[in-house]
Amino acid sequence: MIKYNGKMWEGAVFDLDGTILDSMWIWESVDGRFLTRHGLPIEESYLKALTNMNFPQAAAYTKKRYAMEESEAAIMEEWFALARGMYEREIGLKPHAAEYLEYLHRVGVKIAAATSSEPVLFEAALKHNGIYDYFHAFALSSETSHGKDTPEVYCLAADRLGTKPGSCIVFEDILKGIQNAREAGFYTVAMEDASAAEEMEQIRAAADVYITDYREMKEIEK
């Protein structure tokens, strides 16, 4: 367990893309290449709409928005094909994420991921960076009804760790995720990511703690 804000915490639930993995840049590239392949415009409103969606939701939204003939499964497979190689070889970690995960593991904190990504992608990146074995459980937003529009995926992750929201910390980079996790009773830590720059001040206000580097967690440990 670990002590923050005068309380002991037994579990830590991490978002992956943009929070542990420095990977959001890849999705800008994948989305752009996908739209270009299909002769579609790259619209900021489309890219922003995908932020809180899991893959099935995003595929359904894309198919409907652009009246595409391809099936939702085919759309997802094309995304995966574009991203898979980059997840296997190119994605690194957010500053000092590996050291922090190792520290949590060493002091007995149980670690889970709550992610909108899919195992075919994130497992390769976690293994490539040598951190896969720190995770005790994974919860996918595709296993829930509403992606990250509700706290369900964080609660699922906590449940798989055998903990409750009141004894868990959630680490996230998106505003809606921070807001939903906090409303469910989790202690929330926001990791800065350039992809969420437009909402940075709102994220700062919504989270219990805001960091740019995992070394900063040591400063609040007490």
Q: How far apart are CA 13 and CA 187, in angstroms?
A: 10
Helix axes 24-37, 72-89, angle to 10 degrees: 140
Provide the 8-state DSSP code for 209: E
pLDDT, position 222 = 62
pLDDT band at 28 (very low <50, low <70, confident <90, very high): confident
Contact predicate 128/91, CB 8 Å: yes
Q: How far apart are CA 219 and CA 42, in angstroms?
A: 41
Q: How far apart are CA 38 and CA 137, in angstroms?
A: 37
Closest to 186 in 3D by CA, of 208, 201, 204, 205: 208
**Would you say residue 54 has pLDDT above 80?**
no
pLDDT, position 6 = 81
Closest to 172 in 3D by CA, of 35, 82, 52, 57: 52
Q: What is the mean pLDDT of the chain?
A: 91
How far the first Cα of the chain sits from its last, in Å, is: 12
**Would you say residue 150 has pLDDT above 70?**
yes
What is the average pLDDT across 22-37?
86
Per mean pLDDT, which range of 35-39, 96-100, 184-188 is the poorest? 35-39
**Would you call 56 exposed, middle or buried from its count of C-beta atoms within 10 A (0-12, 13-18, 19+)?**
middle
Residue 3 CB-half CA count within 13 A: 3
Alpha helix positions (H), the chain: 24-37, 44-49, 55-65, 72-89, 97-106, 119-128, 152-161, 175-183, 200-206, 216-220
**Would you say residue 50 has pLDDT above 90?**
no
Q: What is the largest CA-CA distance in the chain?
A: 56
pLDDT, position 65 = 93
Q: How far apart are CA 214 and CA 220, in angstroms?
A: 11
Retrieve residue 200's tokens: 């940075």
What is the average pLDDT across 174-202?
93
What is the average pLDDT across 84-94?
89
Per mean pLDDT, which range of 50-59, 82-91, 204-213 is the poorest? 50-59
Integer-rounded Cα radius of gyration of the chain:
17
User: What structural domains does the chain harbor?
Assistant: 2-23+91-220 (3.40.50.1000), 25-89 (1.10.150)
pLDDT, position 92 = 94
Q: Which residue has the higher pLDDT, 145 or 216?
A: 216
